[in-house]
Structure formats: structure tokens, C-alpha cells
Amino acid sequence: MRRLLTDAARTLAPPTGDRHGPLPPLLLTLTVVTGLVDAVSYLGLGHVFVANMTGNVVFLGFALAGAPSLSALASVVALAAFLLGALAGGRLAGRYAANRGRLLTAATGAQTLLVAVTVAVTAATDGEVTTAVKYTLIMALGLAMGLQNAVARRLAVPDLTTTVLTLTLTGLAADSAPGPDAAPRQGRRILSVLAMLVGALVGAALLLHGHLVLVLGLALLLLALTTVVTRRLSATGAAWTRPPS
């Protein structure tokens, strides 16, 4: 238990000289954003995911089989947007390969703009989700999540993918043997799961009370704060900005 708590503390407040620097808490923030965004897409846009592509592919299969309340078109649009976002994230990763701080700043800056579009669109319709609004949100949020996933992959901070928890949960269970040889980062893995859970919980609670614009606004705020903080921290040229060996 002590080791788990120590690892969690080091994830939330990385010690000076940590090779990943402030990236772990910043990526936990993006994990909360993922929970918020998938709450919007699943509960507000007709049972489709824009961040969890495993679930989205399964939904597409269900929809093609004729399952009610599922849209094959929505799933295809979400998949296409996510892939385009991932492609853009790969291009950014190539451009900022030598500096992880600048890479994360550029990515979250782009995400901020995309989510700002969704806030503006939903505010203009007073939260009413018409067909045009639905597909605008699916495309913008899918792009943002694909970009985030690709960049998190390139940042290569263990157990902080920000959008996928399957391997994190597997590691949490499979590496749970007690003793001095227990696997590291269990605290970080738990925090990653909790971050997604908190985002989904808050997003769902707000959506169920009709606050779609507020959920998107909260995601926008977290992304904007992450962009500002990352930009300021990466300007120091610290060792954490360099790719891990």
C-alpha cells in the first residue's frame, strides 16, 4: 500500500529530475477530458464513441446487423474523424520530435480550437442537438481525440495513454502480486482509471440534467489550461522535453 501511494504521489507531483517531468499530471488531465467527451458522444449524440474506437467498431458491427438506436453512419464518421486526427497527430509528432513539451502544447492547442467549435455550435442552438449539430460535434470531437491519442502515444509516458484503459486495467490486475518485486506504477494506473471515471461521471451527471454546453465548456477549459501550463513549462528547456531513450 505504501508503494502504491508513493507512486500515485509521484504521478501527481513528479519529483525534480523525473525523466517525464510534468507530463504525468498533464496527461491525467487529458484523461479526464476523454471521459467528458465520451459522455457527450455516447449520451448526447446517439450512442457513438469519439475517443474509444474499440467500442465504436463494435457499435458499427451492431448497427450493421440492424440493432436499434445505433447509427452506422455516426460510427463511420467518428472513425474517419478519429483517423484523420491521428494522422494530424502523427504529423505533429514528426514536426516536434525533439521536444515533447512543444508537441503537447501544439496538440492541446489544436484540441482547444476544435472543442471551442463544439461549444460555439451547441451554444448557438441552446444545447439542441439537430442532425447538423450532431455530426459537427462527432467530427470535431473525433478529430480532437484522434490527435490526442496519437500524441500521447508519441509522448510514451507509461500507463498514460489518455484514451484507452484496457491494457492499463490488464496491467493493474496481472501485475498485482504482493512483495518487493511487485510491478511499479500501480498507483499511476489507478489514477488513470479514476481520471477517466471522474470525467465520465461528471459529464454524465451534467448531461442528464441538460447541460451539454457546460460539459463541452469544462472540456475546453481543461484543454486550454493544459496548453498554457505546458507552454510555460516547456519554455525552460528541461530534460523532460526530450524524447525518452
How far is 167 from 175, CA to CA, in rounded Å?
11
Give the Cα separation of 131 and 45 in Å (integer): 9
Spatial CA neighbour of 148 closest among 233, 30, 229, 230: 30
Predicted confidence at residue 184, as pLDDT, reads: 66
Which pLDDT score is estimated for 21?
Answer: 92
Residue 149, pLDDT score: 96
Provide the b/e sequence for 66-79 (b: ≥16 CB within 10 Å).
eeeebbbebbbbbb
Residue showing cell 463494435: 58
> How far is it, in rounded angstroms, from Cα 146 to Cα 134?
18
What is the C-alpha separation between 35 and 102, in angstroms, rounded? Answer: 24
Q: What pLDDT was estimated at residue 166?
A: 79
Q: What tens-digit pLDDT sequence spans the chain (245 residues)? A: 777 788 888 889 899 888 899 999 999 999 999 999 999 999 999 999 999 999 999 999 999 999 998 999 999 999 999 999 999 999 999 999 999 999 999 999 999 999 999 999 999 999 899 999 999 999 999 999 999 999 999 999 998 999 888 778 887 788 776 555 455 678 889 999 999 999 999 999 999 999 999 999 999 999 999 999 999 999 887 889 988 77
Each residue's pLDDT tens digit, 37-88? 999 999 999 999 999 999 999 999 999 999 998 999 999 999 999 999 999 9
